């Protein structure tokens, strides 16, 4: 019998980040031509001015995920063949078999890296980050590529103004690798779900998927259904609880965090956390005005933009936080 080696004590670093945002634009005025809404209502209730959406003839989850990871590898100066694993978080995989991860691994030349997709809606990137950190820290993998990507415009019913105004398409990626210093990487993480709340945000595929109270009439199967008010209530609470819980667990004051990298779902949800918890506003990144809510793409996109713009103070830990369908919520305190 082979005795397992002792636990490896090592840390994790982010070697590179990348993102992909389609050039195609959908403005609030465009939406006002499709449904009864207005630029003023959308900006006031959500902070969104416009969102980017794929050209369905040339773009989608596969292309966005692959390009975001390619850019992360380029930034790290690494070959795809050096990856042990690729994790893609998405609710809009183009096929369930093969996984998006397996396809991009094949296209980028990462074979035979392990490759699989995970589904945690808007928490997807954070779930992937937390999982990858744990695998690298434990010694089971040395280098992992993670992607959060959603092609929301492929599952939006543009006749449904309660959903269509919020979402855009994007992908964010990162390459994580082992480092000798165990204090580096994720120093606190949470991943939670409460499946009892699923009807607030779901994508019915068949009649039998419909939640109580939802009927076939007026609902487009394959499109996202959302009870905005329910999600809003859940989100405001979980968002604040996740941030305060992470600060407490990592023994940090709001000012000791260098940057807050938050899921972009609604500007009002972010602002209420800033106000209630006394977060330093200038450290809380916001890009929802330009991209809307890109679901699993959102946190990875923020991370990449912040790193690229030099907005991350790496002398202090960053706090990443998200919530989404499932219902799910997740956080991570990352020591650079």
Which residues of this protein are in contact with ligand UT7, per CB under 6 A? 37, 41, 45-46, 122, 161-162, 165, 226, 228-229, 231-232, 235, 265-266, 293, 324
Name which of 37 and 331 has its Cβ closer to ligand UT7: 37
Q: Which of 88, 79, 87 is nearest to 108 (CA)?
A: 79
Q: Is 161 exposed, middle or buried (0-12, 13-18, 19+ CB in 10 A)?
A: middle
Q: How far is the CB of 298 from ligand UT7 (least distance, A)?
A: 8
Catalytic residue among 54, 122, 262, 302: 122
Instruction: Read off the tokens for 254.
Output: 């709001």
- Residue 209 CB, nearest approach to ligand UT7 (Å): 18
Closer by beta carbon to ligand UT7, 41 or else 116? 41
Beta carbon of residue 123, minimum distance to ligand UT7 (angstroms, whole number): 9
CA angle, residues 274, 307, 318, in degrees to nearest 5: 45
Active site residue 293: yes
Please state the φ and ψ torsions of residue 167, each to the nearest 5 degrees. Answer: -105, 150
In the complex, the smallest distance separating the C-beta of residue 234 from ligand UT7, rounded to whole angstroms, is 8
**CA 185, CA 336: separation in Å to the nearest integer?**
6
Q: Are strands 11-20 and 25-27 parallel, antiparallel or unpaired?
A: unpaired
Contact 227, 200 (CB under 8 A): yes
Cβ proximity to ligand UT7: between 20 and 329 the closer is: 329
Residue 206 CA, chain-centre distance (Å), reads 26
Q: Which of 54, 263, 266, 335 is catalytic?
A: 263
Least distance in angstroms from the C-beta of 160 to ligand UT7: 9
Closer of 16 and 297 to ligand UT7 (Cβ): 297
Nearer to ligand UT7 among residue 28 and residue 335 (C-beta): 28
Q: What is the DSSP letter of 190?
A: E
- In the set 130, 227, 293, 335, the catalytic residue is 293
Cβ-proximal residue to ligand UT7, closest one: 228
Q: Is 263 a catalytic residue?
A: yes
Q: Can you state the angle between helices 267-277 and 228-249, rounded to 10 degrees?
A: 40
Rounded Cα distance between 58 and 22, Å, is 10
Distance CA 144, CA 254 (A): 30
CB of 225 to ligand UT7, least distance (A): 11
Query: Which C-beta is closer to ligand UT7: that of 10 or that of 161?
Result: 161
318: left (phi over 0), alpha (psi -120 to 50) or beta: beta
Cα separation, 64 vs 172, whole angstroms: 9
What's the DSSP call for residue 278?
A: T
Judged by beta carbon, residue 101 or residue 327, the one nearer ligand UT7 is 327
CA distances from 60 to 54, 100, 234, 242, 247 (A): 6, 11, 30, 31, 37
Smallest distance, Å, CB 153 to ligand UT7? Answer: 15
Rounding to the nearest 10 degrees, give the CA dihedral for residues 238, 241, 244, 247.
-70
Bridge partners, 186 (sequence order): 334
122 is catalytic: yes
Task: Supply the residues annotated as catalytic.
Answer: 122, 263, 293
């Amino acid at each position: 019998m082979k005795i397992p080696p002792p636990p490896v004590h090592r840390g994790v670093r982010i070697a590179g980040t990348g993102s992909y945002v389609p050039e195609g634009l959908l403005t609030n005025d465009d939406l006002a031509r499709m449904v009864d809404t207005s630029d003023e209502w959308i900006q006031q209730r959500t902070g969104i001015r416009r969102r980017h959406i794929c050209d369905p003839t040339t773009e989608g989850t596969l292309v966005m995920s692959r390009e975001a990871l390619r850019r992360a590898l380029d930034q790290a100066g690494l070959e795809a063949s050096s990856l042990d694993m690729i994790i893609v978080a998405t609710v809009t995989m183009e096929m369930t078999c093969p996984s998006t991860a397996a396809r991009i691994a094949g296209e980028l030349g990462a074979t035979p890296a392990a490759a699989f997709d995970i589904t945690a809606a808007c928490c997807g990137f954070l779930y992937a980050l937390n999982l990858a950190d744990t695998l690298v820290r434990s010694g089971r993998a040395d280098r992992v590529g993670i992607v959060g990507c959603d092609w929301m415009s492929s599952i939006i019913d543009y006749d449904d103004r309660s959903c269509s105004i919020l979402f855009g398409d994007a992908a964010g990626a990162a390459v994580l690798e082992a480092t000798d210093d165990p204090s580096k990487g994720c120093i606190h993480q949470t991943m939670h779900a409460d499946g009892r709340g699923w009807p607030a945000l779901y994508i019915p595929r068949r009649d039998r998927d419909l939640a109580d109270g939802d009927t076939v009439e007026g609902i487009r199967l394959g499109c996202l259904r959302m009870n905005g008010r329910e999600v809003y209530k859940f989100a405001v609470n979980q968002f604040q609880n996740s941030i305060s819980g992470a600060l407490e667990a990592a023994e940090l004051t709001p000012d000791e965090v260098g940057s807050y990298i938050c899921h972009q779902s609604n500007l009002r949800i972010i602002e209420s956390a800033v106000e209630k918890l006394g977060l330093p506003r200038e450290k809380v990144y916001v890009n929802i005005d330009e991209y809307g809510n890109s679901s699993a793409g959102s946190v990875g996109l923020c991370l990449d933009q912040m790193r690229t713009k030099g907005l991350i103070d790496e002398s202090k830990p960053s706090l990443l936080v998200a919530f989404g369908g499932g219902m799910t919520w997740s956080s991570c305190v990352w020591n650079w």
